């Protein structure tokens, strides 16, 4: 298992070189899988405490818009740290996403992953609901990218979408969301990894957020999926 700790600059350079090679077009069928949290798992609470699920789910929307088979490997509440190390998903809610509340380490999950494109979206939970620093977060992202490359697959980084300020999503959390997203976009550019820029997708405030105050509405998900599909098509078709 690859450690979660921050990898050094030398490894980051090696990762960037590997990414450049990994983006060559292949004659193999193009398939994708999304490893993320509730942004992709397809669940929300409306009214509070009552679990609802999107149909189609956000990953199926990406598949519908891109024509690229896209597996939903997201889990509600998943932290990037948990995705890398495996074990209990402390904020998981039954019935959302796949994999249950205990998962294998990321490198082991990829051993059984048939998709060639791995969309890494986990990280918003770390940003919004833990004390993770930007530096710690970027180190984990680099570890995730390196893991994908070592498995012979192509990494894609999913940016952070927007939220509307409310009792849960405070001004401080929204500021961290902006900060982490900007840092992620810069890292993607440095590594040469495709970046799905969710932050600039049209966002209409509270009307794009479910009654739980956290999760996107179906209409917002449709716009987010359109952006994700466009990024995949631009890089892999």
CATH number of 206's domain: 3.40.50.1110
Q: What is the pLDDT of residue 52?
A: 81
Residue 152 DSSP class: T
Taking each helix axis from N to C end, the angle separating 134-150 and 171-191, rounded to the nearest 10 degrees, works out to 40
In a domain, residue 197? The reply is yes
The yes-or-no verdict on residue 20 having pLDDT over 60 is: no
In a domain, residue 78? The reply is yes
- Of 217, 33, 21, give the one whose Cα is nearest residue 121: 33
pLDDT digits (tens, 9 = 90+) for 59-76: 999 999 999 999 999 988
User: Which residues on neighbouring strands pair with residue 103, listed in sequence order?
Assistant: 87
In a domain, residue 49? The reply is yes
What's the distance, CA 174 to chain centroid? 18
3-state DSSP call for residue 25? coil
In a domain, residue 163? The reply is yes
In a domain, residue 23? The reply is no
In contact, 165 and 174? CB cutoff 8 Å? yes
The yes-or-no verdict on residue 193 having pLDDT over 80 is: yes
Range of the domain at 187: 32-236
CA angle 35, 200, 194 (to 5 degrees): 45
In a domain, residue 9? The reply is no
In contact, 211 and 174? CB cutoff 8 Å? no
CA angle 68, 218, 36 (to 5 degrees): 55
pTM: 0.87
The yes-or-no verdict on residue 11 having pLDDT over 80 is: no
233 compared with 38, residue with greater pLDDT: 233
- Of 77, 79, 65, give the one whose Cα is nearest residue 32: 65
- Of 147, 95, 96, 91, give the one whose Cα is nearest residue 118: 147
Q: What is the pLDDT of residue 17?
A: 43
In a domain, residue 152? The reply is yes
CA angle 227, 235, 174 (to 5 degrees): 40
pLDDT digits (tens, 9 = 90+) for 32-44: 999 999 999 888 8
Peptide bond into 7 cis (omega under 30): no
Say how many domains are in the chain.
Answer: 1
HSE-up of 187 (CA within 13 Å, CB side)?
27
| Strand runs labelled E in the chain | 32-35, 43-45, 51-53, 70-72, 87-88, 102-103, 117-120, 154-158, 195-196
In a domain, residue 154? The reply is yes
Locate 197 and state its tokens.
């820029």
């Amino acid at each position: 298992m690859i450690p979660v700790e921050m990898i050094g600059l030398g490894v980051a350079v090696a990762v960037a070189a590997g990414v450049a090679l990994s983006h060559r077009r292949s004659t193999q069928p193009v398939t994708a899988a999304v490893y993320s949290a509730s942004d992709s798992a397809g669940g929300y609470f409306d009214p509070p405490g009552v679990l609802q699920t999107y149909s189609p789910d956000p990953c199926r929307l990406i598949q519908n818009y891109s024509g690229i088979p896209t597996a939903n490997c997201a889990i509600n509440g998943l932290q990037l740290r948990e995705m890398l190390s495996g074990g209990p998903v402390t904020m998981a809610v039954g019935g959302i996403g796949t994999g249950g509340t205990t998962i294998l380490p990321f490198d082991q999950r990829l051993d059984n992953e048939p998709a060639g494109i791995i969309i890494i979206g986990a990280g918003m939970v770390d940003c919004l609901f833990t004390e993770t620093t930007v530096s710690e977060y970027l180190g984990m992202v680099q570890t995730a990218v390196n893991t994908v490359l070592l498995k012979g697959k192509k990494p894609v980084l999913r940016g952070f979408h927007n939220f509307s300020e409310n009792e849960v999503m405070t001004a401080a959390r929204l500021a961290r969301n902006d900060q982490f997203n900007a840092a992620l976009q810069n890292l993607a550019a440095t590594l040469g990894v495709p970046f799905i820029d969710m932050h600039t997708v049209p966002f209409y405030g509270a009307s794009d957020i479910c009654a739980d105050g956290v999760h996107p509405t179906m209409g917002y998900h449709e716009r987010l999926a359109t952006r994700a599909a466009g990024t995949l098509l631009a890089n892999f078709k």
